Amino acid sequence: MLVKICGITTKEALDAAVSSGADFIGFVFADSKRKIAADEAATIAEAFPSTVKKVGVFVNETIENMKDIAEKVGLDVIQLHGDEAPEIAEQLPYEIIKAFPAEKHAIETMMDYPCDYYLIDTPGKKYRGGSGTAFDWELVEDVSMDCNKLILAGGLTPENVRTGIEKINPMAVDVSSGVETEGKKDSAKIKQFIANAKQMRKDEVR
């Protein structure tokens, strides 16, 4: 089971995630309490091992800005978490994660989007994603999809991640607020989340 720890803003959080076995690390470059400047992300990214993929999360950003930030930080993957048209993804020379809200219509049509991974997340409120609330997993259970490209997000915690994996059978899980204490990444929670997720199934990053 692959694991993405999102919303990294400090080297301490990065070290905790990498040492615990994270496969993807996410930097948020959109409006969020976890937003990070490209220069800061680039400095933190210097400590990345080559085995961990760097993901940049964007919401309705211009192609030019995404490319500039990706080059500066050394991103491997771009996560589109807004209302980006398929043409946007097709013009980005990176692996693409496209986020979709956990709503019936979005889930049923997401397979038509040109991306490498589909991420299903709880619909956002003030910001896109990062609500810390799990959605009704039954929305996904009855939909035909390629689970080898599916990333499960939304309200996952060390306590419920194994249940989510059992029900949805994704290729990866994504967490941010679920491994925080008082709004800050918690090394113990990161370690426990990754350990619990990886007990379910062994995979490798493509």
Catalytically annotated residues: 6, 121
Q: How many CB atoms lie within 10 A of CB 83?
A: 9
Residues contacting residue 54 through CB under 8 Å, at least 6 positions apart: 24, 25, 27, 45, 48, 73, 74, 75, 76, 77
Encoding tokens for residue 21? Answer: 């076995």
Residues contacting residue 175 through CB under 8 Å, at least 6 positions apart: 3, 4, 5, 6, 153, 156, 157, 161, 193
CA distance 37 to 41: 6
- Candidates 82, 84, 80; CA nearest to 94 is 80
Instruction: Using the structure block, give the residue that is written with the tokens 């946007």.
Output: 88
